[in-house]
């Protein structure tokens, strides 16, 4: 998303920054007077530009998803995806690739590999780039699909009593930063933002074993079938608690009891079909110029009747002392509380009276699964989480077609859908100067990318536990607006249709949490990390529990600033660092003597902070 101005929300206005704004480092002790006069940290940019609430301006002739295929549907016409290692050379704001210093290869193969890994993992490293180049995309995907699941439940169980959330977050970060099954980890995080539960719910806050098991259930199903995933989500007691269909009872007018409608509504609206009928390309079907609803309130009530009679496993219906295991084992049916009547579901499908709770459930989930909306609705959500916020209709259609049939007659093959998302021409072709392509980086992914790039490891008194320079991991939502399984509602941290600006047809979901406070806190944290918590830190006077990063690879390159910038360009911008940003960092580095180790270390620190605090780093292209 190469936008001219990125809006940042405040209490009173929409503040905007230019993504290539010249930023300078607030870095070391003893700044020179000349350096101080040129410091323009991103946070100051916020204050200076706070007088505008004009939002984002885009090239006037831009069309959504204009690179990557026809907007009229079909197979996408003549769109094609280059083999990774070949392709166009336009990058960022330039019409040709930046000249490489030769030490760090900024050639097409490396740039395409970095871009792929940015979409498919928690961030490229020099080691993962080499592996990807050696294997190629197809073999890399095959290997990732074959790797065993790295879960979080076992660690959570071994390191907590199930009440505190810290161990669950520790396990999540261990997996995101260090585990081999990066594709599964990234897919699971995406699924957790679609099939949402949150331990902010007071009934789940001290049920971390169950919450961790729910996440592992998503991980186990990440490359499986959507229908199986939907059933396991429906019957997981954590979802039953979060969306309140556990112990939902058939209607009893005398006792003023009615079936709970919460899960029935959200499984339709958020997990499967959405609100309005869709074409295969995700565009709305219109009747008399208006969207056509998929279902009505009556439909929700009928599905609510389906979901009656499900209880925690191993306890009675009225038990109040629920053991931890009952928040892990799938819910069990209790006939006494199930509605055995006839139900009328989506598109008028009739579920006959007299079916058991399991039979009713199977019929209802089949009814949802077979609805034509599921492919485009789910496919677009997955594209938005991994690749771009505004995919073209043709891109959505190609992914939805794979959902409908993986080529072997299987509907709902999530592994095939994920591969279709990542290998589509619109994902793989260089976006060039397309101003609407890409997405805002999610705060957690941005931080994980940063940590992974420098082989981050826990501080000497951290007991093997990662933590940021500013906050413990379980409190990251206080700093960034995001932490695993801690969204403020079932609508996730941000809604998929959040507009880029109030009157805009383009969406930028992540902007919903890019508030002034969150953005500032994130950059303060990055500043602490770069200038206080590296492998050279003197922790006698600082926090010995903070995670440390190893920036020595940058120090080794810093004698030649072009080499240093090439490394940052490849790892953090996939070779598309805006030229203006590169020039501004180059000017700053030229003022630091690179002839000594101290000078090279200072260059490495400044270059790293300036690159990662630039608004351009908040955009995934």
Which pLDDT tens digit goes with each residue over 476-525? Answer: 898 899 999 999 999 999 999 999 888 889 999 999 998 889 988 988 99
Of residues 72, 89, 88, the one with CA closest to residue 80: 88
pLDDT at 206: 96
Of residues 205, 363, 192, 345, the one with CA closest to residue 273: 345
Indicate the helix (H) or strand (E) that contains 6. strand 6-9
pLDDT at 60: 28
The reported pTM is: 0.86
Residues of the chain with pLDDT under 70: 1-102, 541
Q: Is 564 exposed, middle or buried (CB count within 10 Å of its CB: 0-12, 13-18, 19+)?
A: buried
Of residues 212, 229, 234, the one with CA closest to residue 304: 234
Answer whether 578's CB lies under 8 Å from 92's CB. Answer: yes
Tell me how far apart the terminal alpha carbons of the chain are, to the nearest angstrom.
Answer: 6
Task: Report the percent of the chain where pLDDT is more than 90.
Answer: 76
In 469-620, where does DSSP find H-type helix? 476-480, 516-532, 552-557, 561-573, 579-590, 597-613
Give the burial string for 590-614 (b: 16+ CB within 10 Å, else e): eebebeeeebbbbbbbbbbbbbbbb
pLDDT at 280: 98
Q: Which residues contact 318 (CB under 8 A, 6 or more apart)?
A: none
φ, ψ for residue 604, nearest 5 deg: -60, -45
């Amino acid at each position: 998303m190469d936008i001219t101005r990125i809006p940042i929300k405040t209490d009173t206005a929409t503040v905007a920054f230019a993504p290539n704004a010249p930023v300078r480092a607030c870095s070391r002790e003893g700044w020179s007077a000349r350096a101080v006069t040129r410091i323009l940290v991103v946070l100051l940019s916020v204050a200076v530009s706070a007088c505008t609430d004009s939002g984002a301006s885009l090239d006037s002739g831009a069309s959504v998803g204009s690179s990557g295929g026809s907007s009229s549907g079909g197979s996408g016409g003549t769109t094609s995806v280059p083999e990774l290692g070949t392709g166009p050379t336009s990058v960022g704001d330039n019409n040709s690739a930046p000249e490489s210093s030769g030490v760090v290869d900024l050639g097409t193969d490396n740039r395409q590999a970095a871009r792929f890994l940015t979409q498919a993992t928690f961030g490229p490293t020099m080691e993962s780039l080499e592996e990807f180049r050696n294997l190629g995309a197809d073999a890399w995907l095959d290997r990732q699909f074959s790797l065993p699941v790295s879960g979080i439940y076992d660690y959570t169980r071994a390191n907590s009593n199930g009440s505190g959330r810290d161990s669950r977050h520790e396990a999540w970060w261990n997996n995101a930063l260090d585990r081999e099954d990066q594709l599964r980890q990234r897919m699971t995080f995406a699924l957790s933002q679609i099939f949402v539960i949150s331990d902010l719910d007071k009934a789940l806050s001290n049920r971390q074993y169950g919450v961790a098991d729910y996440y592992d259930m998503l991980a186990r199903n990440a490359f499986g079938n959507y229908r199986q995933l939907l059933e396991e989500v429906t019957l997981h007691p954590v979802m039953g608690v979060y969306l309140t269909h556990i112990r939902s009872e058939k209607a009893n007018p005398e006792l003023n009891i009615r079936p709970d409608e919460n899960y029935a509504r959200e499984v339709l609206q958020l997990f499967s079909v959405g609100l309005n009928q869709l074409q295969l390309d995700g565009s709305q079907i219109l009747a008399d110029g208006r969207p056509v609803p998929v279902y009505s309130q009556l439909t929700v009530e009928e599905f609510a009747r389906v979901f009656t009679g499900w209880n925690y496993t191993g306890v009675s219906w009225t038990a109040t002392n629920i053991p931890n295991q009952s928040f892990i084992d799938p819910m069990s049916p209790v006939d006494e509380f199930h509605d055995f009547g006839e139900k009328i579901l989506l598109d008028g499908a009739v579920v006959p009276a007299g079916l058991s709770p399991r039979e009713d459930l199977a019929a209802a989930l089949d009814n949802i699964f077979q609805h034509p909306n599921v492919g485009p609705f789910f496919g677009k959500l997955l594209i938005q989480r991994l690749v771009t916020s505004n995919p073209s209709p043709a891109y959505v259609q190609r992914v939805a077609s794979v959902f409908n049939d993986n080529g072997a007659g299987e509907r709902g093959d999530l592994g095939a859908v994920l591969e279709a998302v990542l290998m589509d021409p619109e994902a793989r072709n260089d976006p060039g100067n397309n101003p609407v392509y890409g997405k805002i980086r999610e705060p957690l992914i941005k931080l994980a990318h940063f940590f992974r790039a420098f082989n981050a490891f826990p501080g000497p008194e951290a007991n093997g536990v990662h933590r940021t320079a500013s906050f413990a991991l379980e409190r990251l939502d206080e700093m960034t607006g995001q932490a695993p399984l801690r969204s403020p509602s079932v609508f996730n941290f941000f809604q998929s249709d959040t507009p880029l600006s109030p009157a805009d047809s383009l969406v930028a979901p992540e902007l919903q949490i890019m508030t002034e406070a969150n953005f500032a806190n994130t950059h303060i944290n990055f500043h602490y990390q770069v200038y206080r918590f590296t492998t050279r830190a003197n922790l006698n006077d600082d926090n010995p529990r903070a995670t440390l990063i190893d920036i020595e690879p940058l120090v080794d390159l810093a004698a030649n600033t072009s080499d240093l910038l090439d490394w940052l360009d490849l790892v953090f911008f996939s070779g598309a660092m805006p030229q203006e940003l590169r020039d501004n960092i180059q000017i700053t580095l030229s003022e630091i003597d690179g002839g000594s180790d101290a000078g090279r270390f200072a260059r490495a620190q400044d270059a790293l902070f300036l690159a990662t605090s630039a608004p351009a780093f908040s955009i995934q292209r």
